[in-house]
Amino acid sequence: MNTKWVGKRVKRIDGPEKVTGELKYMTDYHFDNMVWGKVLRSEYPHAKINSIDIEPAKNLPGVICVLTHKDIPGFNGFGIVVPDQPVLCSDVVRCTGDAVALVAAETLEIAEQALSLIKVDYEPLEVVADAEYALTDSAPKLHPDGNLHSHVKIKNGNMEKAFEEADIIVENTYYSPRQMHAFIETEGGWGVMDDEGFLTIRCPGQYAYRDRMQIARSLAYNPERIRVISSPIGGAFGGKDEITVQIYLALLALHTNGRPVKIHLSREESVIAGIKRHPFKVQMKTAAKKDGTLLANQVKAIGDTGAYASLGGAVIALAIEHSCGPYKIPNVDLEGFCVYTNNGIAGAFRGFGVNQVCMGIETHMDMIAEKLGIDPIELRKKNVYHQGEVSSVGHIVKSSAGTFKTLETAENCDLWKNRAKYKSEVSEPWKKRGVSVATSFHGIGMGIGLPDYGAASIELLPDGTFLVGVGCEEIGGGNSTAYAQIAAEMLNCDISNISIVQGDTHRTLDSGTVTASRSTYTGGRAVAAAAPRMTELLIQTAAEMLNLDSSQIALRPNHISAHGEIIPYKSIYKYLHDHHQTTRVEGHFYLPKEKEEIKGSGGAPHHLYGYLTHVVMVEVDTLTGETEVLRVVSIPDAGKVINPQGLEGQTEGGAVMGIGYTLYEDILIENGYHKTRNFTDYIIPTIRETPLIETFPVEEPEQSGPFGAKGIGEVVMIPIIAAIMSAIYDATGARIRHLPATPERVFNALKDLKKQKVQSTR
Amino acid sequence: MLVSEIDMITPSSLSECLMLLSKKGRIHRVIAGGTDATVRMKEGKWRPEVWINIKNLNELRYIEESDDCIHIGPLTTHTDIIHSPILQRKADVLVDAAREVGATQMQNMGTIGGNIGTASPAGDTLPALYVLGARLELTSMSNKRTLPIEEFIFGPGRTVLKENEMITKIIIKPQSPNEIGIFQKLGPRKAQSISIVNVAISLTMEQDLKCREGKIAFGSVAPTIIRARKCESMLPLGQLNDELIRNIAKIAWKEVMPITDGRATATYRRDMASALLERGLYRLMRRWNNQ
Q: How far apart are CA A45 and CA A273, in angstroms?
A: 12
Cβ-based contacts of A743 with chain B (< 8 Å)? 186, 188, 196, 268
**Where is the domain boundary, B151, B172, B193?**
B172
Cβ-based contacts of A685 with chain B (< 8 Å)? 189
For residue B40, what are the domain limits? 3-53
Per-residue pLDDT at B31: 97
Q: What is the mean pLDDT of residues A737-747?
A: 98
Per-residue pLDDT at A762: 62
Q: Are residues B238 and B264 both part of a single domain? A: yes
Q: Are residues B161 and B144 both part of a single domain? A: yes
Q: Are residues B71 and B45 both part of a single domain? A: no
Q: What is the mean pLDDT of residues A736-760?
A: 94
Q: Which residue of B191, B278, B283 is in closest CB contact with A686?
A: B191
Q: How far apart are CA A50 and CA A48, in angstroms?
A: 6
Q: How far apart are CA A710 and CA A520, in angstroms?
A: 8
Q: Residue A441: which pLDDT band, with cuts at 50, 70 and 90?
A: very high
Closest CA relative to residue B131, chosen from B195, B182, B202: B202
Is the model more confident about A104 or about A449? A104
* Cβ contact A683–B265 (<8 Å): no
Per-residue pLDDT at A758: 83
Q: How far apart are CA B275 and CA A623, in angstroms?
A: 5
Cβ-based contacts of A116 with chain B (< 8 Å)? none
Tell me the shortest Cα–Cα distance from B268 to chain A, in angstroms.
Answer: 6
Q: How far apart are CA A194 and CA A189, in angstroms?
A: 17
Which of B242, B268, B279 is the mutation pick for testing A, counting most A CBs within 10 A?
Answer: B268
Q: Residue A451: which pLDDT band, with cuts at 50, 70 and 90?
A: confident
Comparing alpha-carbon positions, the chain A residue that sits nearest to B263 is A681
Tell me the shortest Cα–Cα distance from B191 to chain A, in angstroms.
Answer: 7
Q: Chain B within 8 Å of A689 (Cβ-Cβ)?
A: yes
Tell me: cis bond preceding A232? Omega within 30 of 0 counts. yes
Residue A311, classified by CB atoms within 10 Å of its CB into exposed (0-12), middle (13-18) or buried (19+), is buried
Q: How far apart are CA A741 and CA A727, in angstroms?
A: 12
Q: Which residue of B4, B264, B282 is in closest CB contact with A744?
A: B264
Q: How far apart are CA A258 and CA A255, in angstroms?
A: 8
* Cβ contact B189–A664 (<8 Å): yes
Q: Chain B within 8 Å of A683 (Cβ-Cβ)?
A: yes
What does the buried/exposed string (b/e) look like for A574-600 if buried means 16 or more CB atoms within 10 Å of the residue's CB?
ebbeeeeeebebbbebebbbbeebbee
Tell me the shortest Cα–Cα distance from B190 to chain A, in angstroms.
Answer: 7
Q: Say if CB A304 and CB A270 are below 8 A apart.
A: no
Residue B127's domain is classified under what CATH number?
3.30.465.10
Q: Are residues B200 and B229 both part of a single domain? A: yes
Q: Residue A450: which pLDDT band, with cuts at 50, 70 and 90?
A: confident
Comparing alpha-carbon positions, the chain A residue that sits nearest to B286 is A428
Q: How far apart are CA A538 and CA A560, in angstroms?
A: 8
Comparing alpha-carbon positions, the chain B residue that sits nearest to A687 is B191
- Give the 3-state secondary structure of A436-483: EEEEEEEECCCCCCCCCEEEEEEEECCCCCEEEEECCCCCCCCHHHHH
Cβ-based contacts of B262 with chain A (< 8 Å)? 668, 675-676, 681
Q: Are residues B113 and B186 both part of a single domain? A: no
Q: Are residues B202 and B105 both part of a single domain? A: no
Q: Are residues B126 and B160 both part of a single domain? A: yes
* Cβ contact A686–B4 (<8 Å): no
Q: Which residue of B186, B262, B265 is in closest CB contact with A624?
A: B186
The separation between CA B16 and the C-alpha centre of its own chain, rounded to angstroms, equals 27
Q: How far apart are CA A697 and CA A641, in angstroms?
A: 8
Q: Chain B within 8 Å of A425 (Cβ-Cβ)?
A: no
* Cβ contact B2–A109 (<8 Å): yes
Per-residue pLDDT at B1: 86
Number of domains in chain B: 3
Q: Are residues B241 and B282 both part of a single domain? A: yes
Interchain CB contacts (distance < 8 Å): A and B:
57
How far from A255 is each of A107, A194, A197, A553, B243, CA to CA, in Å?
16, 12, 12, 58, 75
Which of 603-662 (A) contact B at CB < 8 A? 621, 623-624, 626
Per-residue pLDDT at A436: 98
Q: Residue B230: which pLDDT band, with cuts at 50, 70 and 90?
A: very high
**Where is the domain boundary, B132, B148, B172?**
B172
Could you count the other beta carbons within 10 Å of the beta carbon of residue B67? 7
Backbone angles phi, psi at A225, to 5 degrees: -95, 10
Q: Which residue of B190, B194, B262 is in closest CB contact with A688?
A: B190
- CATH numbers and ranges of domains, chain A: 15-22+453-590 (3.30.365.10), 31-125+187-264 (3.90.1170.50), 280-447+597-761 (3.30.365.10)
Tell me the shortest Cα–Cα distance from A43 to chain B, in angstroms.
Answer: 17
Q: Percent of chain A beyond pLDDT 70?
A: 100
Q: Are residues B120 and B208 both part of a single domain? A: no
pLDDT tens track for A66-89: 999 999 999 999 999 999 999 999
Q: What is the mean pLDDT of residues B17-45?
A: 94
| pLDDT > 70? residue A761 | no
Per-residue pLDDT at A657: 98
* Cβ contact B186–A626 (<8 Å): yes
Q: Say if CB A620 and CB A728 are below 8 A apart.
A: yes
* Cβ contact A109–B4 (<8 Å): yes
Could you count the other beta carbons within 10 Å of the beta carbon of residue A112? 16
Closest CA relative to residue B165, chosen from B12, B9, B28: B28
Length of chain A: 762
* Cβ contact B279–A113 (<8 Å): no
Tell me the shortest Cα–Cα distance from A266 to chain B, in angstroms.
Answer: 11
pLDDT tens track for A563-596: 888 999 999 999 999 999 999 999 999 988 898 9
Cβ-based contacts of B191 with chain A (< 8 Å)? 686-689
Q: What is the mean pLDDT of residues B245-258?
A: 94
Residue B48's domain is classified under what CATH number?
3.30.43.10
Characterise B110 by phi-psi region: left (phi > 0), alpha (psi -120 to 50), beta (else): beta
* Cβ contact B4–A107 (<8 Å): yes
Q: Residue B67: which pLDDT band, with cuts at 50, 70 and 90?
A: confident
Could you count the other beta carbons within 10 Å of the beta carbon of residue A137? 6
Cβ neighbours of residue A48 closer than 8 Å, sequence gap 6 or more = A91, A92, A122, A123, A125
What does the buried/exposed string (b/e) look like for B35-66 if buried means 16 or more CB atoms within 10 Å of the residue's CB?
bbbeeebeeeebbbebbbbbbebeebbebeee
Residue B183's domain is classified under what CATH number?
3.30.390.50
Q: What are A442's strand-pairing partners? A: A610
Q: What are A331's strand-pairing partners? A: A296
DSSP 3-state assignment of A207? Answer: coil
Closest CA relative to residue A386, chosen from A376, A396, A375: A396
Per-residue pLDDT at B253: 87
Which residues on chain B place their C-beta less than 8 Å from a C-beta of chain A? Answer: 2-4, 103, 186, 188-194, 196, 262-265, 268, 271-272, 275-276, 278-279, 282-283
Q: Chain B within 8 Å of A592 (Cβ-Cβ)?
A: no
pLDDT tens track for A588-628: 999 888 989 999 999 999 999 999 999 999 999 999 999 99
| pLDDT > 80? residue A63 | yes
Comparing alpha-carbon positions, the chain A residue that sits nearest to B186 is A624
- Tell me which H or E stretch contains B70: strand B69-72
Per-residue pLDDT at A700: 87
* Cβ contact A686–B192 (<8 Å): yes
Cβ neighbours of residue A502 closer than 8 Å, sequence gap 6 or more = A231, A232, A469, A470, A471, A472, A473, A474, A479, A480, A508
Q: What are B7's strand-pairing partners? A: B50
Tell me: cis bond preceding A605? Omega within 30 of 0 counts. yes
Q: Are residues B153 and B202 both part of a single domain? A: no
- Rounded to the nearest integer, the mean pLDDT of chain A is 96
Per-residue pLDDT at A28: 93
Closest CA relative to residue A740, chosen from A356, A177, A172: A177
Q: How far apart are CA A561 and CA A17, in angstroms?
A: 35
Q: Are residues B111 and B215 both part of a single domain? A: no
Q: How far apart are CA B221 and CA A477, in angstroms?
A: 43
Q: Are residues B93 and B139 both part of a single domain? A: yes
* Cβ contact A689–B189 (<8 Å): yes
**Where is the domain boundary, B172, B205, B220?**
B172
pLDDT tens track for A500-555: 999 999 999 999 999 999 999 999 999 999 999 999 999 999 999 999 999 999 99
DSSP 3-state assignment of B196? Answer: coil
* Cβ contact B3–A109 (<8 Å): yes
Q: Percent of chain A beyond pLDDT 90?
A: 95
Per-residue pLDDT at B192: 83
- Rounded to the nearest integer, the mean pLDDT of chain B is 95
